[in-house]
Amino acid sequence: MGDKKGERYSMDVDLGVLEPSDFPEVYDIMEESFPASEVRPYEKARELIDHPDYNILAVKSPKGKLGGFLAVWNFPTFNFAEYFAISKKLRGKGLGSAALKRFLKRNKKPLVLEVEAFNTTTAKRRVRFYERLGFVRNDITYIEPPTEEGETPIPLTIMSYPHPIPQEKRQEVKALIFKQVYGMSI
């Protein structure tokens, strides 16, 4: 189900640990899905696979075809989805929804992620996608530090599942993301 035009993916999509041999294809999906300022250089991205708090999960169709990935930081009180992308050729078939639903069902911690704070058609579509899955927007915005010198920083806002982040925890969440993901203090 899902490989032919018009077919939709269901919960039988596979969401498993990334095989190192799949990383080049995952990186290609990353580059086609995110602005250059949000994508680490290949070697830096590859090195993260060995970080104990970082996991890249492969999103595969029921036939085993790599269709996307979910890169997640495991923090003490929440998980942070740094990247979530589906290959352009497989978008719109429900693969992303099925994979994220599976992740949310398997994990008990809240999931936090960033979306662009732009008022563009693409940014609005992303927010609606996450809202349909039960994510809520939080009043946490910041400028993402560029991954490489010379890249343009991007304004981001935080979404969370299944509930909003309590006001008294927002600064703590932001500080942890900056420290662990971006390697800087705020």
Local confidence pLDDT in tens for the 186 residues of the chain:
444 455 565 556 889 989 889 999 999 999 999 888 889 999 999 999 999 999 999 999 878 889 999 999 999 999 999 999 999 998 888 899 999 999 999 999 999 999 998 888 988 999 999 999 999 999 999 998 877 788 788 899 999 999 999 999 999 999 999 999 998 888
Report how far residue 52's alpha carbon sits from residue 48's, in angstroms, rounded to the nearest whole number.
9
Contact 13, 59 (CB under 8 A): yes
Q: Which two tokens stand for residue 132?
A: 């349909």
Which candidate, 142, 59, 51, places its Cα nearest to that of 100?
59
| Cα 166 off chain centre by | 22
